[in-house]
Amino acid sequence: EATTGSRRRALKKRHGCLPNKELPTKNRFLVFGIDFIRRNIRAYKDHKLLEAWGACLTDNNAHTISMHVLGQSIFLTDDPENVKTILATDFEKWSIGRERIKHISAYLGKGIFTTEGAAWKHSREMLRPCFERSQVADISIMDNHTNRFMNLIPKDGTTIDLQPLFHQLTLDIATDFLFGKSTNALDHSKGDIEVEEFIKAFEYCQNPFLGEDEARFGWFSEVLRQWFSNRKFKIATKTIADFTDKIIDEEIASKVSKDRAQPDRYVFLNELLSQTSDRIHVRSELLNILLAGRDTTAALLSNVVWELSRQPSITTRLRQEVAEHIGDEVPTYQQLKDMRYLKAIINESQRLYPIVPSNSREAIEDTILPRGGGPDESSPLFIPKRAYVAYHSYSMHRRPDIFGSDADIFNPTRWLDEEREDGALRPGWAYLPFNGGPRICIGQQFALTEAMFVVVRLLQTFPVMESRDDEVWREKMSLTCTGLGGCKVGLKSVN
């Protein structure tokens, strides 16, 4: 019978694999990659982790490189061909990773974001029609909450950081859309204890260590969280479940009595209940979507408005587009879809500041990536079972050989084919803000509609928008990535 070694040799030979580039370690005796970890903690504290990972590649003239950390083989790549193989061509051979499944399902339960194989397929099929039917219907939900958001902004140019408000806004919209009952976090006048407890518990479970121990443990608080499950975590998990179950029970009861308050309104939970009556499953799916859909859209809004406030000429052109397409009216879904310049701005923001800047997959079996082997990296590369491959969209999105010599500059017109001198930009797998392949973000359309809606309403309400931030963009990393400096602006309702 063939040994693992001989099987691997045969596999490498059959595919013509060559060795890949390795990250040089300062001290060969530090076999667990301690120097790499130290460098990472420092970079995390300086809010330069994304740059540091990018430098692992560029400093070594590599697009795929390997390293050994705590006895684990990790590959890092910004090669679109490899990313395509992992996410699409060889989808079945890659797992989202045992760590992610264990950690996130501990408080959300099993749903689309935390399962794989047949269970994931089932979730995806069940949720797809809910998302398709939702597309046009939620403008009214967005409008209500966005109005409340606008009312909280000073109209006389006083400096305000919009970032925390964006997080409240996207939470209110997401819960209204999913549950049919909003957290109304933007309603600062009345406190709903149950809602406050739910928000606190949900945020705590995402970052139980980051709050208190970030300063002490830095990047490692993430790892520590996975090692210690504490009582507080369990209580928070129960709070989340109880809050959601109550809403589900109310919805089931109102269905039975046919006494629904707003029979014509689209409620995701309602759609979901028409697919399954398994209450725990419904709860887990809702919470999975809430996690995936809430902070991501807030981070995008924060980055887009931060950039617009610093780029008067881009904003002036965008105002013209709003005036031509929409005027002062509340935009419709179709009008938003037709706003090509706004879409280009959002594309460009997600290119330079991707909300999920780095992601990874774990090899389920010994497998092959098409590139990264040999000195010029053009040969296939062998990946052993259980190795992690991190794909770094942040540096892929900034590759000058793909996006041009101005890849570091914010220039939305690169997305408008007719305005490019060198022909159309077709980045394909080199541009991945919403991931790709069968697990591509299912809420992409919802997120884009929401972000566009809020930006348009902001510009319509405030003819003057000024930046109140002189710093360069720096990252704030948690499950998602957003700007460290927030989104400090001064807005005026009259010129």
| CB 294, min distance to ligand HEM, A | 7
* Shortest distance in whole angstroms from residue 287 CB to ligand HEM: 11
Per CB under 6 A, the segment of 228-236, 314-322, 419-427, 430-438 that binds ligand HEM is: 430-438
Residue 447 touches ligand HEM, criterion: CB under 6 A:
yes
- Considering only the stretches 45-53, 203-211, 415-423, 433-441, report the one whose residues sit in contact with ligand HEM under the rule CB under 6 A: 433-441
Q: Which of 47, 48, 124, 319 binds ligand HEM (CB under 6 A)?
A: 124
Question: Minimum distance from CB of 98 to ligand HEM (Å)?
Answer: 14
Query: Closer CB to ligand HEM, residue 18 or residue 484?
Result: 484
Question: According to the binding rule CB under 6 A, does residue 108 interact with ligand HEM?
Answer: no
Question: Which of 270, 297, 449, 482 is in the footprint of ligand HEM by CB under 6 A?
Answer: 297
435 binds ligand HEM (CB under 6 A): yes
Provide, rounded to whole angstroms, the least separation between the CB of residue 109 and ligand HEM: 14
The residue within the footprint of ligand HEM, chosen from 204, 446, 453, 462 (CB under 6 A), is: 446
Q: Which stretch binds ligand HEM (CB under 6 A): 154-162, 216-224, 427-435, 469-477?
A: 427-435
The annotation status of 17 as a binding-site residue, yes or no, is no
Nearest residue to ligand HEM, by Cβ distance, number only: 443
Q: Should residue 300 be labelled a site residue for ligand HEM when binding is judged by CB under 6 A? A: yes
Q: State both tokens at 17.
A: 């694999």
CA atoms within 13 A on the CB side of 82: 31
Among 83, 269, 342, 355, binds ligand HEM (CB under 6 A): 355
Shortest Å, Cβ 99 to ligand HEM: 12
Smallest distance from the beta carbon of 145 to ligand HEM, in angstroms? 14
Q: In the structure encoding, which two tokens stand for residue 373, read together?
A: 């082997």
> Kind of pairing, strands 488-492 and 464-467?
antiparallel
Count the residues of the shown chain that bind ligand HEM, applying the rule CB under 6 A. Answer: 23
Binding to ligand HEM, residues 250-289 (CB under 6 A): 288-289
Q: Which residues contact 337 (CB under 8 A, 6 or more apart)?
A: none
Which residues is 392 bridged to in the sheet?
358
Site residues for ligand HEM, 167-226, by CB under 6 A, read: none
- Told to check if 439 binds ligand HEM by CB under 6 A, we report yes
Nearer to ligand HEM, 186 or 481 (CB): 481
CB of 109 or CB of 433, closer to ligand HEM: 433
12: left (phi over 0), alpha (psi -120 to 50) or beta: alpha
Euclidean distance between CA atoms 26 and 32, whole angstroms: 12
Q: Is 489 in the site for ligand HEM (CB under 6 A)?
A: no
Beta carbon of residue 104, minimum distance to ligand HEM (angstroms, whole number): 11
Closer residue to ligand HEM, CB minimum distance, 355 or 396: 355
Residue 114 near ligand HEM by CB under 6 A: no
Closer to ligand HEM by CB, 435 or 493: give it. 435
Closest distance to ligand HEM from the beta carbon of 173 (Å): 9
Q: Which residues are annotated as a binding site for heme?
A: 441
Using CB under 6 A as the criterion, which residues of the chain lie in contact with ligand HEM when the complex forms? Answer: 96, 112-113, 124, 288-289, 292-293, 296-297, 300, 355-356, 359, 433-435, 439, 441-443, 446-447
Q: Which residues are annotated as a binding site?
A: 441
